[in-house]
Structure 1
Amino acid sequence: MPNSTAISPLTLKRMTALIAENSISSVLPEYDQSNEGVINLLASWCNDLGFDVSIMPIDDQPGKFNLLATYGQGSGGLVLSGHTDTVPCNPEKWTSDPFTLTERDGKLYGLGTCDMKGFFALALEAIEQVKHQTFHQPLMILATADEECSMSGARALSKQTGPNGRYAVVGEPSSLRPVRMHKGIIMDSIRVTGRSGHSSNPALGINAMDAVHDVMGELKALRLDLAERYQDAHFAVQTPTLNLGCIHGGDNPNRICGSCELAYDLRALPGMSNDDLREEIRRRMNPIAAQNQVELSFEQLFSGVEPFAESEHSELIKEAERLTGATSVAVNYATEAPFLQSLGMETVVLGPGNIDQAHQIDEYLALDQIEPCVNIVRNLIERFCLTPAHD
């Protein structure tokens, strides 16, 4: 266990316990784990602090849970939100055990230190510093399941008793710089079904791969069209992106390809709609099916995340900018922020650690992020929970 003086012993103990709990989420069953251990740790610590704790199973997801812990009464207040799962890892490639918190070179290494179990430990430290003061607005901790593979926990909020705060902080790694905009995500596939046959006579079948060639051409045309129609200078990549990610089809060179599937990733800008994009793609594909005499089927590989944008004039954004000394930014990755915003809360993404460390071998959280993060969270609690409402 690390002995660093840059982090309190209690916070170090909590972070060590969180990292030790394997809560990997994956679309592959052999890697997927329950997040119950992490939820139970957070529930115990929140109970000890006097929170009213509710653990909510996720429908149709055995072993997956959300947690909502509330301190104080009334409407409004602040939600500190994060996900409890991590991506899979390759322990044999790590310098140290990914499930053992390890300090070296001014960094805390472990799976989830940065993305994003570390945020919970630091948020609890901030709460320890203000827990004896008078709360005029409630403080809530929200912990979700399966953000890394399906976002089923965040989606379940609309069907369960979700937080009713006025402001929400999503503690994803942002290097403690406020994020007020990010792109959405669609991950879908198009399957083309033709008819197989002997390759010596093309008339014996209908080649699905030939049709997919046309599908790819239309998606590339759509990519150019979207880039001309939509731009946002806040983003490093200022246009929507459409990536042709993988293709599978056919079974032998001397056989007409009877079936072929193309999977792609589309990332939309704020102001665009995932549903509208999916409808446009279907509309563009219909003539291709007719021309090639094939059948097309569409599958959502991932339900998607809508683009996110919070107003630069938001009270929460302005406060986050004041506390960090940094102008809010736009990023290309996606978070649970739009789900919280849809519940009526002003929302910001703001957390310790660099996003470049997320999903990496030897993931770490730099020790110099810890004290600033605790101070920022404590000040947000003071501003939105300890100050009487002024509506």
Structure 2
Amino acid sequence: MSTDATTLARRLVATPSHDDPDEVGSLLESWLREHTDATVERDEVGNVFARRGGGDCSLALVGHHDVVPPDPGQQDESGYVVEERDGRLFGRGSADMKGSLAAMACAFRDSDPAGELVFASFVGEEQGGTGCRAAIRDGFAPEYAVVGEGSTGYSAPGVTDVAVAHKGRRASTITARGTAAHASEPGAGTNAIYRATDAVDVIRGLSTPETTVRGKRVQGSLEVTEIHGGDAWNMIPDRCTVTVDERTVPGERAGLETVELIEGVTWSVEQDLPPMACRDERFAAVALAVAQAIQDGDPEHVVKPHATDAGWLAAEADTQTLVIGAAEPGQAHTADESVSTAALERCQRLYRTLAERFP
């Protein structure tokens, strides 16, 4: 039998939101108005907010209702295809992250919060956090937040853990410029590919940043992912570009700017999604205690490998943030994306219990 969270998740997942999240935003807004006595609003970019309770301290349950484009089998003429079988809910956005979003909405409805409780669902998470950043610019800055991205199955299968940190992502491009010439007269030109490969050698020699959060090691990475240069087999190329994927850690960055010491080489950053680290020991401890109390497994503090809106909240709103959600690794953005309905029920209890105990 479907739980409250699964029932709402089915409706959210069935509603397309990869091109335009407005319809699913309207669904969320109307559901909150119908099922809660909260103050509900939707801002001009499409973010949905609800607030209830009171006090000097606020806890926000945060998600997003936009998704990446569906695979062909995940959409038909009526909308997104949703199936429930073998204890799982299948469909685009079920794992990332309409399942946990539904669990948050139900927990928001059912809880008797210890302070001000905020529900927030953003647009534009899949486009670099545009909705979250717009909300922060408009003053959204809760003291504490739980972001409902996946944290299930990190320490052990079927266990919902508490992520105290995640990596960020800095995407950058190295551009090497030279002088074109005929390949039969190489001395007449300057080979941009050679300059680019000199830059790649510098990157390979850089140390990868790492740090520790709540006793957990956070290891960054640095990888060259593309190289493009040259127009013909018999021409010395005058331009070559190299793309670099850097997974950043809190407080540390690789020294990519050193490639500009090479003549003719420049470096530019296209995207910089911040990492997240929860600095509040009590918040992390209470959340882990709640996670331990509501499930049979032995959850742990863990580190997520990829960026979420938690990074923007930590970096730009100074919010103490944790990531707790139903999805397991390897489910988001896949052709058979799914989430465990048992994990949705578990997260609904977790969010509600945490809201009633903290702050």
The TM-score normalised by the length of structure 1 is 0.80
Query: Between Structure 1 and Structure 2, which shows a larger proportion of strand residues?
Result: 2
Q: Give CA-to-partner distance per residue, 1:118-163, whole Å, 9 cap, x none.
A: 1121122223333xx5x55221111112222322122223311314
* Aligned residue in 2 for 1:267: 247
Counterpart CA distance in 2 for 1:37 and 1:242 is 39
Alignment equivalent of 1:250, drawn from 230, 234, 248: 230
Aligned pairs for 1:63-212 (under 5 A) are 65-92=46-73, 99-130=80-111, 133=112, 135=113, 137-163=115-141, 165-175=142-152, 176-212=160-196
How far off is 1:211 after superposition? 0.7
Letter in 1 for 2:26: N
Q: Secondary structure at the match of 2:174?
A: strand
CA distance in 2 between partners of 1:344 and 1:249 (Å): 42
Determine helix, strand or coil for the equivalent of 2:262: helix
Picking from 281, 293, 296, the partner of 2:256 is: 281
**Per-residue deviation, residues 217-241 of structure 1 (Å, max 9, x unmatched):** 011111xx336xx454724xx5321
- Residues 1:226 and 1:103: Cα distance change in structure 2 (over 3 Å): closer
Matches of 1:346 and 1:382 in 2, distance apart? 17
Is the 1:181–1:331 contact (alpha carbons within 8 Å) kept by the matching residues of 2? yes
Tell me the distance in 2 between the aligned counterparts of 1:76 and 1:318: 18
Distance 1:231 1:309, change over 3 A: closer
Structure 1 match to 2:309: 336
User: What is the correspondence of 1:302-341 to structure 2 with a 5 Å cutoff?
Assistant: 302=271, 304-311=272-279, 314-325=281-292, 326-341=299-314
CA distance in 1 between counterparts of 2:72 and 2:16 reads 12
Percent identity over the alignment is 29
Gaps of 5+ in 1: 25-32, 59-64
Give SS of 2:80's match: coil
Instruction: Quote the Cα distance in structure 1 between the aligned partners of 2:185 and 2:275.
Output: 48
Structure 1 residues 115 and 221, CA, compared in 2 at 3 Å: closer, same or farther?
same
Distance 1:158 1:126, change over 3 A: closer
The number of residues matched between the two structures is 341
Provide the rounded CA distance (Å) in 2 between the counterparts of 1:127 and 1:66. Answer: 17
- CA offsets 1:300-336 (integer angstroms, 9 cap, x no match): 222x12222113x622211111111222112222222
CA distance in 2, matches of 1:44, 1:297: 50
Is the 2:192–2:239 Cα contact (8 Å) retained in structure 1?
yes
Counterpart Cα distance in 2 of 1:38 and 1:13: 15
Q: For residues 126 and 93 of structure 1, what CA distance do their matches in structure 2 show?
A: 28
Q: Give 3-state SS (helix, strand or coil) of 2:285's partner.
A: helix
Query: How far did 1:19 drift?
Result: 1.2
Distance 1:365 1:306 in 2: 26
